[in-house]
Amino acid sequence: MMDPIGTQPHNMGYGVPHPGTHGMPHPGTHPAMAPGSRGAVYAAPPQHHTTVVVSQPSSAHTPHRMQMQERDWGSNICSCCDDVLGCCLAYFCPCCFSCYIACRLEECCLVPIVVPGGETAMRTKLRVQNGIRGSIMNDCFTMYLCYCCALAQMGRELNATTRGGRVI
C-alpha cells in the first residue's frame, strides 16, 4: 500500500518495515548520521528496582487488635434438659431448626439446606463471634457425629447470648 502522497510503500504493521520507509534508514547508515540530522536522541532504559522480602511482617510490626477472651460453650453438648423445646425441635425437625438457627445468626435460612457444610460454617461463626474455644475441625466432627445435639447446643448458646433476637 502506498502512503497518502503515493511516494513510498506503507508498512501495514506486519513484520519489520522495509529499509528507507517511514524513518528507517537505508542499510549502512546510522540515524545520527542521516543528512540534516542533529543526531539521534535516545532515552535511557527505565531503571527497575526489585525488593526481595525475606521475612513476612509479624505481629510486632502490626497494631494489636483487641482479642476476646476465649471461653467454653455455655452448655455441654448433651445438656438437652436445659432447653427441652430446643432439644425436641433439633431431634424431631432438624431441618427446620437449623434454618431457624441460620436466621438467628443473620444468615440466609437456606444456608443449612443449600450450602454443603452450612451447619458447620454456622457453628464456626457462632463460636468465633462469641469467643468460644475450638477449631473448624472440632466443629466439623461435632456436627457430623452429634448433629442434633450440636444444633440444640447452638440454640442454647444463642438463647444465652442474645437479647431481642440479636447476638450480643
Would you state the pLDDT for residue 51?
74
Distance CA 50, CA 120 (A): 44
Where residue 161 falls among pLDDT bands split at 50, 70, 90? confident
What element of type H or E holds 163?
strand 162-163
Instruction: Report the pLDDT value the prediction gives residue 124, as an integer from 0 to 100.
Output: 96
Residues pairing with 167 in the sheet: 162
pLDDT of residue 70: 87
DSSP class of 38: -
**H or E segment to which residue 92 belongs:** helix 84-92
59-114 pLDDT tens trace: 555 455 556 688 999 899 988 888 899 999 999 999 999 999 999 999 999 999 99
Please give the Cα distance from 23 to 128 (Å, whole number): 68
